[in-house]
Structure 1
């Protein structure tokens, strides 16, 4: 009996290891193929989503008699509206008849340190610009704590393409638009922030570790050769000089001045020297400091627009391969297992005994 018990444990371990290897190999293969696959634009009309949600909610809340009366009233309203539109169309000129509803195009940007989401956003903006006109509007739901200057500089330049076409641009911030995130947000004609959204951080930071003293203590020499006086100012393993530090600080200051100039160009009403100190503000405070134009959530704003305009969500999607789906499923499974173990551990520590 002991043999079969040990064999079962061994077999279970072996199967687990083999499955883990398959998942890892599949994930690596998927990552290698990811950059070679083409994506596509997906468009979803949010008006329909809002209406479906409303209908579903009413269906659960109202009685059969109330639903019947509501449908009857809606049919009557639609009939009268069609009649009015038909009459109006006869009285209108050909130019008036060509007029259409305002269209709102919604794009999401969820930024990391490298502003990786710019890859999808540039495709989405290119697609929107093929159809959008100055009578329309682009809404960007932006969330980012900032990151590298060149990444967010490119992301801001993508939003500037919308401004150059004279299409109204609105940026909605529900959680955070700081540093590079605000570099993007300030290009908008209108910035809307939730009451507790974090906005600002107009500053520049750089942090470089240095292990030269540790290497020197262990008699390890490091040689650094450059062509150009400022090719390398501060290093991780070499000995840094006061001259190099001063040059590095000057580069940071130059970047900060460029950042302030960029913000001032698009939000001239800002007291830039007051807000460009690296500090952050919450929604209402940001409004008082002219960092944003309105305090409201993106959901509220889009639902208001849907009453008068056709609202479309635009996404650039890359179809995931089977290997990627397998890798993501495995990753989610591991995450859930760790969460459960941590929860059980915390529960055991907080029990009343």
Structure 2
């Protein structure tokens, strides 16, 4: 009998656990199957001007006769035309003012650029082959794309002379500056013999 009593208690406990599990599962299933509320917010914008205009026109039709409505329509059209004309004149004036300011700024900028003289300084350290001639040719090409007649090019020259054709090429590069009408100055610190002297004579 004692065994049966213990066995019965065990069955009741097991049944209680099973029922509890079933209830939990059923609760979860019920919550999951419940439709979710849409919490996404939204903003609705309605243009009420047109509705107000419609109401106003309806009231006017009931309050005024045809002649008065006609006069009111003419006055309204005249007012809108005057307003559009005023806005057009205002826009034109603003455009003209902006154009004048832009032109004034451009003129001021141009005057400032003209007033400021720029000096481009190039170095030529010549060996017997005048190896620096190629680099100087590229530098002079770059300078001529930017230099104005108001500017000046200064060449700092050091050379003991060398091959005639090489220094002839170097001298011809300096001549390009003269041909553009840009002032050229050659400065010699220590020596400019032979081909170096020929280059200095270009200035």
Q: TM-score range by the shorter chain?
A: 0.3 to 0.5
Q: Decide which structure has greater helix share.
A: 2
* Structure with more contact order per residue of length (Cα contacts < 8 Å, sep ≥ 6): 1
Larger Rg: 2
